Structure 1
Amino acid sequence: MLEILNWIIRIANYYEYAIVIYVLMSWLPGAQQSVFGKWLQRIVAPYLNLFRIIPPIGGIIDISPIVAILALNFAISGLSHLVLLFL
């Protein structure tokens, strides 16, 4: 059971890195329109769209990726505590 939990945590960490890379690619012109950018968008955008309802601060700064990463970390932490509670 702990091995499965370790895999889930590892996958969540990689997904967090993918979100960070996707956000950083938005700063570079044309990076999100590349083959890698489109592939990464298919993986990350559905999750980020859940948090796009949060309006940007000052109309410029989008904090939805930060909230998405925090929600992912809270979910993984909660799952870890639940699994360890029953072991």
Structure 2
Amino acid sequence: MYTILLVVYALLSWFPGGYDSAIGRFLRRICEPYLSLFDHLNLSLGPINFNIAFAIIVLQLAVQALTRIIVAIF
């Protein structure tokens, strides 16, 4: 679910004023604390910023690791 929120947050950058809408403000409060962990990496290639893509990959790897740990315990 959080991955979907991150994707929607990234897509809002395509719309002028997307982050200023009610949905944009909500997603900013939810997503920016996690995304701020990756700000120091500076994963930009020209005008394209890959921080959100990297954050999604890290999130998915963490979910897979936790799933394997939980399955191994039970």
Q: Common fold, TM-score beyond 0.5?
A: yes
Partner of 2:23: 36
Deviations, residues 17-40 of structure 1 (Å, cap 9, x unaligned): 000001000110011101111011
Alignment length (residue pairs)? 73
Unpaired stretches in structure 2, ≥5 consecutive residues: none
Tell me, in whole angstroms, the C-alpha distance in 1 between the residues paired with 2:2 and 2:22. 18
TM-score (norm 2): 0.92
Moved over 2 A (4+): none
**Greater per-residue strand proportion:** 2
Structure of greater Rg: 1
Give % identity.
Answer: 34
SS in 2 for 1:71: helix
Q: Which of the residues 59, 66, 69 maps onto 1:72?
A: 59
> What one-letter code is carried by the residue in structure 1 that aligns with 2:37?
L
Structure with greater helix share of residues: 2
- Give the unaligned 5+ runs of structure 1: 1-13
User: Is contact 1:16–1:69 with CA below 8 Å preserved after alignment?
Assistant: yes
C-alpha RMSD of matched pairs (Å): 0.8
TM-score normalised to structure 1 length: 0.79
Contact kept, 8 Å, 1:54 with 1:63, in 2: the verdict is no
